[in-house]
Structure 1
């Protein structure tokens, strides 16, 4: 026969606190508990919102490994709902809630957990904790720095590290668990295990019905001096069909807010076991509420618009400072280029930004670009980068020397040379013996002309 759940849930505001920030739900296919905290008295809003979203899984026809995906999706939707609530009322920023849920398909359990509420299973008389606390103290235990016994009395045992708070990094632990007839399951807020030892919890869960067990566990917590809300969900895994007429149970802040907003109550086994009515959800007294310090690394931000403006100003300042630094750097650079027909030294970089000039003529030289050989002219027209102003002037000096040397090597025929040549052509009567000395004289004169060590005649190709 298919397994089923026989369940009961109960929530108590406690003997110190004036409002209940716990919410819980128990149904045929879902056990769920959320412990709200932080924000301007909005812990109850956070836990109620989380439960109202996730509880819809109880009516979903989902089983097997698909339960893990369904739980993850429901927790993320609850997280988005908290984000929406903060957007609607910025005073709620800083609120959050734990989430511990067990989804049941008749054969297996799917666990989703975030925070320090707990899930237990009693099997064959042995109590086993199914969830893993996301607390500072538990991290010390995991690292071997303190023992589990020391964690029970540690002064910072309530400092929580992960919580459902509307931020994008609120991912729960997810796990598939086996289940069998005779198992007893229990979910509870930290108001129970922070004051009641595992041995006492195990003794209470060893016998009785789910209804009697939730009452006994909460009584133990109150007698131990718990100053927090205390909520428990207990379910037995049985081989019989659920009793006829059994209905889902909603308790704590979720039940109170549902009654106040809709005017109709939700099916519930008990709204609270003792304690004053906390439906007013008022203040926390004159002293600091410990619940508002449970995740102190994330304090409430009461002026989100101011924070956004500050961030914008800082970003603009960084961008403006970077732009100014970049422009200042460009104005310390030099290169050699052309300014019309002349060689010039430029200050800046040869780049274009709409509306901004990054370079200007620093010194215009008297050197014509056409007086340079082809290779040097192409270099200048493509810009020659220099390490400094002195480097740019050195480049210009080299170009001027090259132009001067090429000017010396370039032949400059005289207009009278052609008539002289034509006049000597008819003089065929000149003795041929005198021509050899005359013909060898010009090469000797050309070879004696200084050409410079770095410029060859062929290098001056293209000089105009």
Structure 2
């Protein structure tokens, strides 16, 4: 009996979406990339500054957008496996780019993506871009930032409000890069008609609180909400690139209009340079922000890409848990030199200190002042005779002689000399070894006694 292929259940829902990305009012280049399609919503925020964070985010979107296709299974596990595989492919592609051009070493990108299968949403997340769910007038953050300040929040050391102004609020701990294959956070989200989904870069979530996000998401179409979110972020003082992808969950119908996939941000810049120009915020307040219209996604994945990055960009310091792999041998030689130098300095200090230490000891039967430490290492004495005295060990009492043989510690040279003077005052006039002489004189005294007895 042959197995019959499992029929894929008809989608219960569909997505209506919009996407906007803006370079902002401070940065010269847009290092964000975004994608919105019938089956995928994604935002990647490139990290690296001169190391081409824009290329990292565009490369990641180029790999992740392959998820924008109808599912072949309704299994939640299969859905999450597809997301994990796409993130790993993005990492592999960055490895290839760095191998081809070592100047790109250090580049990386965040990634927050929602993959739709017609029934539910699979969430994948690495970094500090965010995904939100707006349902029945309430907003909920779906992802957890992989940042230094988030660890402080989790430990109860700072509050959410304090995190927004913390000096290290932009330092992320996990990203898609060319060094290690980071495992994304993965989970499934059950959805319902009327839900609104938001995926955004930290250019928006870093300046707009949940209340403000909810206010904007409660109005207008997805495209309108995305535009207003970007505008509000710039008005709130965001100094970063801003990218927002918004989608509504609707009931699936045969008559539903078909939308094209949209690419925004760095991933679309090359295509925009081919002739698609313009922006929603030109002339708005601070002037041209460089916002770019969404570009249809029906172009080759590997379009030649070239954008001049600012060589002095604070974004370069944003992702710093790993050092680049360039000049590894030079760093090892330098580290070894530093270790040897520190060891030499330590030994020099120890020798200098030992030359200021004194004790009173014995050498060849005489009391001697030694300079150094009364010890030895590997048969090597750590002291040497400094001053020989005229005090003989044989003329000292057994107690004093024993102390000298063990070594009498002194605070300094003057203290050692005072110890010698005390020993000299207590020494006898004759060597202790001549003490048996009186017993020899006692022997003749016994002879007269014996002689008298015989008489």
TM tier, smaller:
0.5 to 0.7
Deviation at 1:102, TM superposition (A): 0.4
1:296 matched to 2:296: no
Please show how residues 63-78 of structure 1 align to structure 2 within 5 Å. 63-65=74-76, 66-78=78-90
Q: Distance in 2 between matches of 1:192 and 1:16?
A: 14
Cα distance per residue 1:426-462 (max 9 Å; x no partner): xxxxxxxxxxxxxxxxxxxxxxxxxxxxxxxxxxxxx
RMSD after superposition: 2.6
1:249 matched to 2:281: no
Q: Distance in 2 between matches of 1:82 and 1:259?
A: 23
User: 1:28–1:226: structure 2 CA closer, same or farther, 3 Å change rule?
Assistant: same
Deviation at 1:194, TM superposition (A): 1.1
Q: Distance in 2 between matches of 1:156 and 1:201?
A: 23
TM-score normalised per structure 2: 0.63
User: 1:28–1:225: structure 2 CA closer, same or farther, 3 Å change rule?
Assistant: same
Q: Distance in 1 between matches of 2:65 and 2:280?
A: 19
> In the alignment, which residue of structure 2 is the partner of 1:196?
208
Query: Would you say the 8 A contact 1:13–1:272 is kept in 2?
Result: no
Q: Distance in 2 between matches of 1:199 and 1:247?
A: 31
Q: Distance in 2 between matches of 1:59 and 1:34?
A: 19
> In the alignment, which residue of structure 2 is the partner of 1:8?
18
Deviation at 1:170, TM superposition (A): 1.1
Q: 2:169 aligns with which of 157, 177, 191?
A: 157
Q: Distance in 1 between matches of 2:112 and 2:193?
A: 22
SS in structure 1 at match of 2:50: coil
Please show how residues 179-190 of structure 1 align to structure 2 within 5 Å. 179-190=191-202
Runs (4+) of structure 1 moved beyond 2 Å?
60-64, 240-245, 257-260, 270-274, 276-285, 296-301, 308-315
1:120 matched to 2:132: yes
Q: Distance in 1 between matches of 2:194 and 2:56?
A: 34
Cα distance per residue 1:183-208 (max 9 Å; x no partner): 00000000011111211111111121
TM-score normalised per structure 1: 0.61
Q: Distance in 1 between matches of 2:266 and 2:323?
A: 23
Query: Would you say the 8 A contact 2:45–2:201 is kept in 1?
Result: yes
User: 1:55–1:14: structure 2 CA closer, same or farther, 3 Å change rule?
Assistant: same
Q: 1:170 aligns with which of 176, 182, 199?
A: 182
User: 1:144–1:273: structure 2 CA closer, same or farther, 3 Å change rule?
Assistant: same
Deviation at 1:41, TM superposition (A): 4.6
Query: Would you say the 8 A contact 2:51–2:106 is kept in 1?
Result: no
Deviation at 1:234, TM superposition (A): 0.1
Please show how residues 238-317 of structure 1 align to structure 2 within 5 Å. 238-241=250-253, 243-258=256-271, 273-274=281-282, 275-276=289-290, 281-284=307-310, 288-300=312-324, 304=326, 306-308=327-329
Q: Which runs of 5+ in 2 are unaligned?
A: 1-10, 283-288, 293-304, 337-455
User: 1:28–1:277: structure 2 CA closer, same or farther, 3 Å change rule?
Assistant: closer
Query: Would you say the 8 A contact 1:10–1:272 is kept in 2?
Result: no
> In the alignment, which residue of structure 2 is the partner of 1:321?
none
Q: Distance in 1 between matches of 2:221 and 2:272?
A: 28
